[in-house]
Structure 1
């Protein structure tokens, strides 16, 4: 009995801190730590502190004894109470949150997570209640606010992230479609303004990617607001007032923390999100697509014969999809969308039948304004399903307001019910949506191949920022566009098809551009529908990125580099034994193929041209094997 009492007392001290007299608050700081990612490295540790004088909360994040995020404000203001100050600690409870799930797309198919969750309970002025949930895992720290019914609308957050002043920062200024370029600053010297909530910071070899997860129509999307000269980035919400008529759990304020490989390979924002709401996912099939917009523009979207030609080309390549972009339902000579019998006038059913015979699925572009009411969704979605269309590319939401997020809450179950894959353009970024709604194959939220202002530095930053958070429809492969930032490097353009993960990898080139580059065409014919594993081989944001992604026993490698021509080196971190690395490089007369035999863990040396890159397939070496091509 004595031993049991001692054990209970020890557990009480662990959970709530030092004992305290009634009415006296001595607890002022608590820690939450996740499992260590490896024996030689301690994982992220969160330290929540309550200032007893002001009743204000701060959160600090460290890793292996080094501060990554300085003590930063934590708090929320509702129409009923200011819960950023005057708080009194009530109690703490801890639990372990762990699980496994399979993703339809992403950098890793089979996933397992384990987090420590601590719930801190506070009371504010007038008895207002606030719970702060803090989670820590091997690759991140996150927190959210939980408010009871009757708290009223949210007027804002005091949440912020304060970084070491000299921390390197990779930031993109905010815009409603999340498509601005990333540029490098330091945390304190970045210009004043608003930045996208996908900001990367680095200090002392440790990185922190600021993100959010579990964003739905119950709340408003965040951006980062920065004042010049200060290393603090506070949360700004799209809406000045977030409507709430019941209990509220805000989105997670997430920090993906670790070395660069840990951050790049992390699935933390998905792990935080709710489990899948789609019971049967057997119909959800990712894969490459021939995207006809950059290949043929609006005329292609208005021409059945052109689209049949694209279907034939995709079938010959083994690509499972063709995406018909804008124009197919806006030609007044074909049909009028206001006509109740409008579907009789479309040639899409004929294209679907033609494509089905060739084992190619059709996806179609549609403007969000044609799906923004329940009546329109009931008109469009069942019809597209009846026609046999496999997916929809929905464009021009151009908002992260609570009202728009509520529209996402409506379109997601509707597309799942009608077995339609989804690609959102002019949109928010994934933020955990792909775990909860696995039919979401990809989202734009990126300044991709369609735009004409990209830089080599932007290309080398995306794998460490936007693409960490979820699938990204950059639309690589547009060899025919002379203005692309790696125009002198066809090998670098080819490598983007691996470097950037997307559940539907929309390949943006013309058939003629692929036929003129048989090595690129051969490589793209090998691209898998999805990836089993992802590993960072080398890189630094804004300078270079080399990622390897596995499907079965084969690894696909893509690399991009900035600066002058040089020989790039990287460890072949694929496993022990001998590997055949089937390289595609820029040669004097175009793309060249160069097979090499290398041992796992050895250094791979690759010549790259100015602002160039490379692509490769790696497979286990066996005597007589000279190619990693998939058996025909």
Structure 2
């Protein structure tokens, strides 16, 4: 079993809970009753029967008394309460995670249960747990039948002058953390986790152990007060079958090291619901989204190249993001990746999986293809209904043994303990925003990063405006713990930084131990994390250049080898030195800079901490042209080049070309016994098209086959799409436009509209039929073409492109010299293509127009497929 529970029984009288004589005040202390330890104080007001809770660290009050209680449809359990009984036990739990800041964990907590009776005999139990790193409380409503919760009275009260680091609440948790004081923070809602400093103690407020029995919540605040109330999502009532146990209202308490190293949120969560976790494999991921967006996801060759990069550097996965569903090559990609030892993760919108029927069809299909896991996006809700969906999707993905990465998601609340195949979660303003302030980056390790794996997606050097230095960006691979560490760089950006490539080959994604070495929210953060005898260090700062002094007293005895990667005058540099635990590293840092480092035991003859990495050649196969249009009976010249860029050699290399049956091929079949890094092999062929060749597209395939280390025989294909044109036809996509306008991005030729840039669209596809020729538009749009009376007929098949699914609604119009001569009904993503056949004899100017279907232009991707003019 992944998690084992040892609960040392409930005691009939309070242990570590002291009640005064009239039994209206109780103190619950952390196990061991340390004088400077943490305690929670529960008070029952004798006058009105209201409850409050306060928290102390030693003799200092950190959280001032704040209200407790809950209101249901049937009972107000916030006032008029009478004490009934109390019992205390010691809870000890041992469990193992699949990811996180520390894999093997022991949680020790004192738990006190206080029972109260309200008006009409309604019962409220309050559970309070206190550990050496914080406190938590939850309500238990023991009644049977459905229980509807209207609201909670729960709140936290800080001194008004307490320093705070807060992010505005959104249900996808991508707000920017900014400093304030507890009282001066503006009116409004704030996201978990929220961090406060009271004296020398920090308090991180969040929640834990939530599922579909309840809804999520957030904090609400009125300026001028230190009170932060708990508000349920959407302000909606929560209904569950009794007895009802609410989530833990959780506060991590201590110095910054205690807070950042805390596992309290996981400690409070339900144990793992997965018995066999041997299939759950964390790892590093090549993510191509920020190097081409949707266009990169629709290209098999681009995705194969990212697979090759992972294989060349020992990364475990590659992620194909939004856009792949308009393609048909996913099984081919997963097979290609499998042969290279790389897993494929795929992006899906949560609405693709929001019904049992969709999950029953889609998830087994992905598993059959060989997909390793899912990035599920855009849940954007903390409602009870959404958490019920989380319960369902996690059960179903676990059954299919599919890994999960949630984006557009609620901040994790112990989910990685309960469902250990959740290897990371976004819920952060991360690198895909393109201009993340260094002050926010350095606040995250003390806030969002405390509670779970964080999918920040570092290394996006080619994207946006850089706010931290290269060395600091590299340090984020350690600073941000993530079971799936999605690196967002381009292959060229990695290759331009060889020291970065080398470090990323070595850095793990799971840890035996994590320590904060130094830092302060919004200013700097330096972490050390250990795995299997090596320590990895990461540091990031917001501010001017200087020198970072890092004590090495966390190391064991003896001599150690330290390799530091920092910013140099001409890029990243690596410096190696021998150190002991008595030494301090002095690392020069750039503005908004940092560093990365690896430290291992120094032994005789050891020059590096690097360990062997299994590498396959990073190769490229290019063809010229990538597509061609020819007449029947004509020929086309095709060239292919196979090059080894990194991690060579490739052995027994052969280039070949295959054409459709009946087509003639002239050319050689070049071979090479071995191609080391930096060498290539080229071939040229002439392909002749028969006179009776079918009109339309044909595939001519150039292949490179080679042997790689380990005896694997690998092959890569590149397809040249040869389109055979019929006589007497001109395709509109081949003609110059007299004018054009488009709702999003440019009008695309021979591909669907990708909305953003030129040539970023998918193949034209309507109702599962793919077309080689045509125009891709987005309403409202229009193209004008000069005909000068030279054509007899215009024909096309029109409809909404498949890439928007069943969404989108458009109408098509054809104008001849400004007069509408053909129009369609409103077509949606569910409609088949509609044929247009228009007489254009003598027409001087042809206009093709797309209008929205009367409900706005969202998803209005319109295709003029096979749009042709007949002479």
- 2:116 & 2:25 partners in 1: Cα distance? 13
Is residue 122 from structure 1 mapped to residue 116 from structure 2 by the alignment?
yes
Note if contact 2:462-2:490 (Cα within 8 Å) is conserved in structure 1.
yes
Deviation readout 1:598-625 (Å, 9 max, x if unpaired): 2214322211111111111111122433
Q: 2:427 aligns with which of 438, 445, 451?
A: 445
Match of 2:536 in 1: 556
The count of corresponding residues between Structure 1 and Structure 2 is 600
Note if contact 1:16-1:91 (Cα within 8 Å) is conserved in structure 2.
no
Note if contact 1:289-1:505 (Cα within 8 Å) is conserved in structure 2.
yes
Match of 2:504 in 1: 524
Note the C-alpha offset of 1:14. Answer: 7.0
- 1:12 & 1:266 partners in 2: Cα distance? 27
Deviation readout 1:241-292 (Å, 9 max, x if unpaired): 1112321100000000111101100100000001000011010000000011
Match of 1:225 in 2: 220
Is residue 293 from structure 1 mapped to residue 289 from structure 2 by the alignment?
yes
Note if contact 1:34-1:45 (Cα within 8 Å) is conserved in structure 2.
yes
Note if contact 2:17-2:27 (Cα within 8 Å) is conserved in structure 1.
no
Distance 1:321 1:93, change over 3 A: same
Note the C-alpha offset of 1:15. Answer: 5.8
- 2:103 & 2:291 partners in 1: Cα distance? 31
Note if contact 1:368-1:395 (Cα within 8 Å) is conserved in structure 2.
yes
Note if contact 1:128-1:151 (Cα within 8 Å) is conserved in structure 2.
no
Distance 1:427 1:15, change over 3 A: closer
SS at match of 2:550: strand
Q: 2:19 aligns with which of 17, 21, 24?
A: 17
Match of 2:51 in 1: 57
- 1:13 & 1:109 partners in 2: Cα distance? 31
Note if contact 1:177-1:428 (Cα within 8 Å) is conserved in structure 2.
yes
Match of 1:274 in 2: 270
Note the C-alpha offset of 1:16. Answer: 7.3
Note if contact 1:476-1:506 (Cα within 8 Å) is conserved in structure 2.
yes
Note the C-alpha offset of 1:11. Answer: 4.9
47-56 vs 448-457, which moves further:
448-457
Match of 2:309 in 1: 313
- 1:493 & 1:273 partners in 2: Cα distance? 32
Note if contact 1:81-1:151 (Cα within 8 Å) is conserved in structure 2.
no
Match of 2:102 in 1: 108
- 1:85 & 1:195 partners in 2: Cα distance? 27
SS at match of 2:43: strand
Is residue 406 from structure 1 mapped to residue 388 from structure 2 by the alignment?
yes
Distance 1:36 1:262, change over 3 A: farther
213-222 vs 571-580, which moves further:
571-580
Deviation readout 1:504-549 (Å, 9 max, x if unpaired): 0000001100000000000001122421110101001111000111
SS at match of 2:240: coil
Note if contact 2:434-2:464 (Cα within 8 Å) is conserved in structure 1.
no
Distance 1:14 1:292, change over 3 A: closer
- 1:450 & 1:14 partners in 2: Cα distance? 48
- 2:333 & 2:218 partners in 1: Cα distance? 42
Distance 1:598 1:277, change over 3 A: same
Note if contact 2:20-2:26 (Cα within 8 Å) is conserved in structure 1.
no
Note the C-alpha offset of 1:460. Answer: 0.6
- 2:555 & 2:181 partners in 1: Cα distance? 34
Q: 1:174 aligns with which of 158, 169, 174?
A: 169
Match of 1:193 in 2: 188
TM-score for both structures, normalised by structure 1? 0.93
448-457 vs 140-149, which moves further:
448-457
Is residue 598 from structure 1 mapped to residue 579 from structure 2 by the alignment?
yes
- 1:103 & 1:243 partners in 2: Cα distance? 31
SS at match of 1:153: strand
Q: 1:417 aligns with which of 391, 396, 399?
A: 399
- 2:161 & 2:597 partners in 1: Cα distance? 37
- 1:151 & 1:363 partners in 2: Cα distance? 40
Match of 2:132 in 1: 138
Note if contact 2:163-2:181 (Cα within 8 Å) is conserved in structure 1.
yes
Distance 1:482 1:595, change over 3 A: farther
Note the C-alpha offset of 1:455. Answer: 0.7
Match of 1:338 in 2: none
Note if contact 1:78-1:151 (Cα within 8 Å) is conserved in structure 2.
no
CA RMSD of aligned residues (A): 1.6
Note if contact 1:36-1:138 (Cα within 8 Å) is conserved in structure 2.
no
- 1:80 & 1:512 partners in 2: Cα distance? 63
- 1:541 & 1:14 partners in 2: Cα distance? 34
Q: Write 1 or 2 for the structure with the bigger share of strand.
A: 2
Match of 1:23 in 2: none
- 1:577 & 1:600 partners in 2: Cα distance? 8
**1:454-493 alignment, distance < 5 Å:** 454-486=436-468, 489-493=469-473
Note the C-alpha offset of 1:27. Answer: 1.0
Is residue 585 from structure 1 mapped to residue 581 from structure 2 by the alignment?
no
Deviation readout 1:477-513 (Å, 9 max, x if unpaired): 1122251321xx1000100011001110000001100
Note the C-alpha offset of 1:430. Answer: 1.3
- 2:336 & 2:32 partners in 1: Cα distance? 54
- 1:380 & 1:401 partners in 2: Cα distance? 25
Distance 1:10 1:174, change over 3 A: closer
Deviation readout 1:356-401 (Å, 9 max, x if unpaired): 1110000100111110101111111011111111000001101111
SS at match of 1:627: coil
Q: 2:329 aligns with which of 328, 347, 359?
A: 347
Note if contact 1:528-1:551 (Cα within 8 Å) is conserved in structure 2.
yes
- 1:166 & 1:225 partners in 2: Cα distance? 18
- 1:151 & 1:404 partners in 2: Cα distance? 19
- 2:218 & 2:496 partners in 1: Cα distance? 43
Is residue 95 from structure 1 mapped to residue 89 from structure 2 by the alignment?
yes
Note if contact 2:40-2:56 (Cα within 8 Å) is conserved in structure 1.
yes
Match of 1:363 in 2: 345
Which structure has the higher relative contact order (CA within 8 Å, separation 6+)?
A: 1
Distance 1:495 1:54, change over 3 A: same
- 2:285 & 2:86 partners in 1: Cα distance? 50
When Rg is computed on C-alpha atoms for both structures, the one with the higher figure is 2
Match of 1:504 in 2: 484
Note the C-alpha offset of 1:96. Answer: 1.1
Note if contact 1:171-1:182 (Cα within 8 Å) is conserved in structure 2.
yes
